[in-house]
Amino acid sequence: MERREFLTSSSGATALALAAASGLVPAYAQNAPGWNKVAFDSKSFAEAAKTLGATSAPVESKELVLQAPEIAENGSVVRVGAQSSMANTTQIAFVVEKNPSALAALFDIPAGTDASVSTNIKMGQSSNVYALAKVGDKYFYAVKEVKVTLGGCGG
Amino acid sequence: MSDPMRIRAQAQGDKTTVRVLVSHEMESGQRKDAAGKTVPAWFIQTINATWNGKTVMSAQWGTAVSKNPFVQFSFKGGKAGDKIVVNWVDNHGDKRSDEALVA
Amino acid sequence: MKSSLYGPAALAALTALALFPLSAAAQKSTAEGIAEYRAMLADGNPAELYEAKGELIWKQARGPKNASLEKCDLGKGPGVVKGTFVELPRFFADTRRVQDLESRLLTCMEQLQGFNAADIAKTSFGTGEQKTIESLVAYISGESRGMSFNLPQAHAQEKLMYEVGKKVFYLRGGPYDFSCASCHGEDNKRVRLQDLPNLTKEPGASTGFGAWPAYRVSSGDLWSMQRRLNDCYRQQRFPFPGYASDATIALGVYMGVNSKGGASTAPALKR
């Protein structure tokens, strides 16, 4: 595991990590190599941005377009997409402010890949959804409120 | 044992668009079972795609990605017959790799 | 512009929705919002995962007789899959019965593969061989996607089952004095935000009947038509007539014949 993650983990997680390292707990307590646990533990958009490396508050940008429905018939599947027209966009993240873990997904954009991704995410309740883009060493965002509602009997 | 992914890759002009459906529970760790016990989180944490060996998509996912995940991305280049390989790793340490040819 | 998230299927769904009158003017923006939500999801339906699995299972040697289902006759001759879904339920000479897709699969699984059909009928949805059937119905219905319903009504049994299905559809009872028709017997009804298709005629019949089997977002599973009917009966507080029972098959004939000319969208994506 990374040293930074070790230092910032909560004591419980640290104990678990130590136990995992010594082979005392089964494999499912381990995280995949390269998975940023600290970022995924974030409880808000601001915290997610900070743990991903933003040194100042992200700036709202019209060059980052977030696609999300205004109303989600079911919070367990919500299609979100983000497109950045800013050159040198190297990461795009989706953050749901009111989810228990705010950061939903983080995409690296290798050179040659379009700064445009979409995926399906879960939302526990109505919330602001953010797209966060890393451009050089700066962070930009777009935001949209998605209302989660309940449908009827099942169509 | 996990089921195969569905990978569709379509080349158009100078661009290839890839859509991936993954068979996975993506258990959030927030849900309780019938007995009131929390169902432990079980979810894909990293996923990446390569085109003829070059990484064209690489992501980290949390518990909020939906069950049976979907992802769409596109990259410059690619032609019919090129190979796309997608790999994922979940928090149980389970892995899966599937491939498809660009259409 | 959100065009990049909308495939052709999604645009078709939006267009189709625009053709239906809305329940109330006040609901318009909400209904449009939900139409947008559904259209965004139309591309990338997880039902595709079940279709792929079902195709493998269809060809796989399984069961006590270690045989595949490739000789199963779904109505167009042994092994023919394409186009069968939009003509089911229909009469089968070998069993002397009108059968829907699932009861026919039970016949094939018993005769070709040596499974016990009665045991599978008793198995809970989403477990054991019922999981196999979920994948199979996804594959088989997917092979008729976009084709128009055209159930045969030439055989006397088929005509009889239509009339029985109609009776079952309008049969009122249970603690709520409910019938299928209470929700699905006229236009412009809804439950909360869900528009309810009128299953007694087109276009409602194929919109409703023609969408199942479907991937159910709320449970994250593929639901067969039998499972969908089971849930309708649960919501009516009726006992379920039984998996692959004649009553459920008759309902399928009634809804399927009413869908004539409408396109099948199964396996669709549902709330």
pLDDT at C56 over 70: yes
C137 pLDDT above the threshold of 90: yes
Residue C210 is which amino acid? G
DSSP A75-144: TT-EEEEEEE-STTEEEEEEEETTSSSSEEEEEE--TTB-SEEEEEE--SSSEEEEEEEEETTEEEEEEE
pLDDT attached to residue C251: 97
* Nearest-CA distance C198 → chain A (Å): 11
Best mean pLDDT range from C148-162, C165-179, C223-237: C148-162
Residues with Cβ < 8 Å from C73, sequence gap 6 or more?
Answer: C79, C80, C92, C94, C108
pLDDT for A29: 58
For the cut 90, the answer to whether the pLDDT of residue C28 exceeds it is: no
C250-263 residue pLDDT tens: 999 999 999 999 99
Write down the mean pLDDT value for chain C. 90
pLDDT of residue C219: 85
Which residue from B56, B64, B70 is facing A122, i.e. has the nearest CB?
Answer: B64
- The yes-or-no verdict on residue C29 having pLDDT over 80 is no
The pTM assigned to this predicted structure is 0.85
User: CA-CA distance, C204 to C199, in Å (whole number)?
Assistant: 5
- Per the CB < 8 A criterion, the answer to whether A52 and A93 are in contact is yes
CB of C52 less than 8 A from some CB of B = yes
Nearest alpha-carbon partner for C189 in C27, C2, C8, C12? C27
Residue B40 to residue A28, Cβ atoms within 8 A: yes
pLDDT, mean of residues A27-50: 89
- Record the tokens describing residue A1, joined without a space: 């595991």
Q: pLDDT by residue (tens digit) across B9-49? A: 999 999 999 999 999 999 999 888 889 999 999 999 999 99
d(CA C206, CA A35): 46
Q: Considering CB atoms only, which of B4, B70, B72 is closest to C52?
A: B4
Across B53-76, average pLDDT:
97
The pairing of strands C194-196 and C189-191 is antiparallel
pLDDT band at A6 (very low <50, low <70, confident <90, very high): very low
User: Residue range A13-40: average pLDDT?
Assistant: 65
Indicate if the pLDDT at residue A14 is higher than 90: no
Cβ–Cβ < 8 Å for C213, C141: yes
Residues C151, A124: Cα–Cα separation, whole Å? 43
**How many residue contacts between A and B have a Cβ separation below 8 Å?**
119
Helix (H, G, I), strand (E, B) or coil at C164: helix
Between A and C, how many residue pairs show a Cβ–Cβ distance under 8 A?
A: 80
User: Where in the sequence numbering do the catalytic residues of C fall?
Assistant: 232
Contacts of B70 in chain C (CB under 8 A): 44, 46
B23 in contact with chain C, both atoms CB, cutoff 8 A:
yes
Chain A CB contacts of B54 below 8 Å: 110, 112
pLDDT at C80 over 80: yes
pLDDT band at residue A4 under the 50/70/90 scheme: very low
Taking the C-alpha atoms of residue C163 and residue C182, their distance in angstroms, rounded to an integer, is: 18
**Side chain identity, residue C54:** G
What CA–CA distance (Å, rounded) separates A17 from A30? 7
Residues sharing a CB contact under 8 Å with residue B22, sequence separation 6 or more, in sequence order: B5, B44, B47, B68, B69, B70, B71, B86, B88
For residue C192, name the pLDDT band (cuts at 50, 70, 90). confident
Specify the residue for token string 């010594």: A22
pLDDT digits (tens, 9 = 90+) for C83-131: 999 999 999 999 999 999 999 999 999 999 999 999 999 999 999 999 9
- Of A141, A30, A155, nearest to A94 (Cα)? A141
**Residues A154, C33: C-beta atoms closer than 8 Å:** no
Among A6-10, A124-128, B50-54, B92-96, which stretch is predicted with the lowest mean pLDDT?
A: A6-10
Q: Which of residues 28 through 87 in chain B touch C, CB cutoff 8 A?
A: 67-68, 70, 72
* Average pLDDT of the segment spanning C194-206: 93
Instruction: Check residue C194 and give its pLDDT.
Output: 78
Query: Can you tell me whether residue A42 is helix, strand or coil?
Result: coil
